[in-house]
Structure 1
Amino acid sequence: MEERILAEGCRKGDNAARKELYDRYAGRLLAICMRYVGERATAEDLLHDAFLKIYGAFDRFSYRGAGSLRAWIERITVNVALEWLRNRNRLGVVELDEGRAAGTIADPDPAEVARVPHDVLLRFVGELPDGYRAVFNLYCIEGLPHREIAQMLGINEKSSSSQLFRARNILARRIKDYLKTH
């Protein structure tokens, strides 16, 4: 079913269209939830919440060409995950090693990163502290600027930048350690 027709069916409450929407995008949206919360059970709950919100919001969707439906439902899913993190006060700045500043670790070479299996990289991202993981995803995956991230998360811009710096350091260290043993 073409995206525009699928969206129109969902807008009208057509269960066949809703099922197709779910079948087509559930895996992708679950992966988004996993990137933000890091726990499968919680991610599955958030996926359910995201679909309820999506189905209830079709009156506000306007088709803007190929890919616009997917972009719209992905944005809703990201917002559901961020809302879950905010409501649990899990986005604050995380103290590192009793307040000591984190040392800078050089980013690994892209060729080195390519040697690390995709599922291992996702696990490393999933193991980041909640605030670091949220900022990392919003900046590196969603491509948002720190100003917008700060507004979305209710933190200041410098905190967003700092959390991204720390997330990258943790990931660089984890990748380097992994490559030493594999």
Structure 2
Amino acid sequence: MTFENVSDEELIASAGNGDRLAASELISRHADKIIGVCWRMLGERAAAEDVAQEAFLRLWEFAPKWNPDGGARIDTWLYRVAVNRCVDRLRKTKREAPQEAAPEMADDAPSATQVLIGEDRRKSVLAALETLPERQRLAVVLCHYQELSNIEAADVMKISVDALESLLARGRRALKTALAPMRQELMEGLAG
């Protein structure tokens, strides 16, 4: 069975009636985005996958009661559940562990210079993202990595669009400041 022309609302109704193929299609449609937002919030792929799985489990539990006229879209609802779970994990981690980052294992495999620069850039950006306050980080992740509109991101965060734009502006400024040394290094590396 193909689900190309089937809406998320129709899929959730079918999943609520026990249709496993419909449930699988919903996962296929939304898993990458949900895992992506969780990964950028938590900084760990395994934790992101766990949280995404929890969000989808909540959706299946809620599926029989889903009200398509309730105003929430399925993707927005999933983002909200996933973000809430990420925030819970981050708060729990802050209470349980000291704020030291675990050292990463070096990858000894040879690779091209551009790949190394790209990986260094990715790690630097993720590290800078992790230094942002929780709400600024979420705003940046939703708008710049998940490519949600300001209206959609504000809806996920349950704030006004003006408040979201303020968080984005402060987050961008903080990232620009945090990444300035890396930018200078990169420019020097390209010139040399």
Q: Which residue of 2 aligns with 1:30?
A: 35
CA 149–38 in structure 1, closer or farther in 2 if over 3 Å, else same: farther
Q: Measure how far apart 1:24 and its partner are.
A: 1.5
Q: Which residue of 2 aligns with 1:14?
A: 19
- Secondary structure of the residue that 2:67 maps to in structure 1? coil
Rounded to whole Å, the distance in 1 between the matches of 2:183 and 2:158 is: 25
Q: Which residue of 1 aligns with 2:124?
A: 124
RMSD in angstroms over aligned alpha carbons?
3.6
Rounded to whole Å, the distance in 2 between the matches of 1:135 and 1:34 is: 15
Structure 1: stretches of 5+ with no match in the other structure: 95-115, 151-159
Superposed counterparts of 1:14-163, under 5 Å: 14-59=19-64, 61-63=66-68, 68-89=73-94, 122-128=122-128, 130=130, 132=132, 134-142=134-142, 143=150
Structure 2: stretches of 5+ with no match in the other structure: 100-116, 143-149, 160-166
Rounded to whole Å, the distance in 2 between the matches of 1:18 and 1:49 is: 14
TM-score, L = length of structure 1:
0.60
Q: Measure how far apart 1:37 and its partner are.
A: 0.7
Q: Which residue of 2 aligns with 1:103?
A: none
Deviations 1:14-48 (A, max 9, x none): 21111111112111111111110111122122222
Contact conserved, 1:29 with 1:47, CA < 8 A, in 2? yes
* Structure number with higher relative contact order (C-alpha < 8 Å, ≥ 6 residues apart): 1
Aligned length: 144
Contact conserved, 1:34 with 1:43, CA < 8 A, in 2? yes
TM-score, L = length of structure 2:
0.58
CA 128–20 in structure 1, closer or farther in 2 if over 3 Å, else same: same
